[in-house]
């Protein structure tokens, strides 16, 4: 079986057929950023199972001020991508691999009620995105700080589709 980085990257272009497209996109973008970098020192023929993801992430972001949590997220994405790749090559059904505890979501209304203390005044911000589409961001505090606004914009930007 071909466990090369080249074959792994080809597989990732098809991953959205098997799992949530946003999850697939996050894994694919992370892998391409880390493995396609000519400074990585990795040949495309390298066996992806032998790649130390923590080492690559540490090297790639050594000059950056991103948090350790973000670095762990990137390593986690790479490990997930590798698990899906191995499932695929083994002829198994490619599916989301989770730990032993099933995630249970609370109803949205319960989450929203607890997310904003009663003393915080909030508002709904309608943002026209494109023709016929208005995004409503709810529970924005009236005293929103610039730091909080930057955090929100970074999160939203991470979901943007990169046009070739």
Q: Which residue has the higher pLDDT, 107 or 71?
A: 71
Contact 82, 31 (CB under 8 A): no
C-alpha to C-alpha distance for 135 and 90, rounded to whole angstroms: 42
> Average of pLDDT values for 111-115?
53
What pLDDT score was predicted for residue 105? Answer: 44
pLDDT score recorded for residue 133: 86
Say if CB 34 and CB 78 are below 8 A apart.
yes
Does residue 83 carry a pLDDT above 90? yes
Report d(CA 136, CA 48) in Å as an integer: 42
75 vs 97 pLDDT, higher one: 75
Mean pLDDT across the chain, nearest whole number?
A: 82
Any idea how long the chain is?
A: 164
The residue ranges of every structural domain in the chain are 5-89, 118-157
pLDDT the model gives residue 159: 80
Q: Which residue has the higher pLDDT, 95 or 89?
A: 89
What φ, ψ does residue 140 adopt, rounded to 5°?
-75, 130
* Residue 122 burial by Cβ neighbours in a 10 Å radius (0-12, 13-18, 19+): middle
Give pLDDT, residue 118. Answer: 61
**Cβ-based neighbour number of residue 37 at 10 Å:** 13
How sure is the predictor about 90, in pLDDT bands with cuts at 50, 70 and 90?
confident
Full-prediction pTM beyond 0.85? no
118-152 confidence digits (pLDDT tens): 677 888 888 888 888 888 888 888 898 999 999 98
Q: Which has more confidence, 88 or 110?
A: 88
């Amino acid at each position: 079986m071909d466990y090369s980085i080249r074959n792994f990257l080809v597989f990732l272009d098809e991953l959205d057929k098997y799992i949530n497209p946003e999850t697939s996109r996050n894994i694919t973008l992370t892998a391409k950023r880390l493995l396609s970098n000519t400074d990585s020192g990795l040949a495309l023929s390298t066996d992806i199972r032998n790649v130390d993801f923590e080492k690559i992430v540490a090297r790639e972001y050594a000059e950056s001020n991103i948090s350790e949590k973000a670095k762990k997220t990137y390593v986690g994405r790479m490990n997930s991508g590798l698990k899906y790749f191995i499932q695929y090559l083994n002829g198994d059904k490619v599916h989301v691999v989770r730990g032993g505890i099933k995630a249970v979501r609370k109803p949205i209304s319960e989450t929203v009620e607890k997310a904003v203390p009663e003393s915080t005044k909030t508002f709904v911000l309608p943002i026209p995105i494109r023709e016929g589409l208005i995004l409503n961001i709810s529970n924005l505090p009236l005293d929103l700080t610039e730091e909080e606004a930057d955090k929100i914009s970074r999160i939203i930007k991470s979901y943007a589709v990169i046009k070739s």
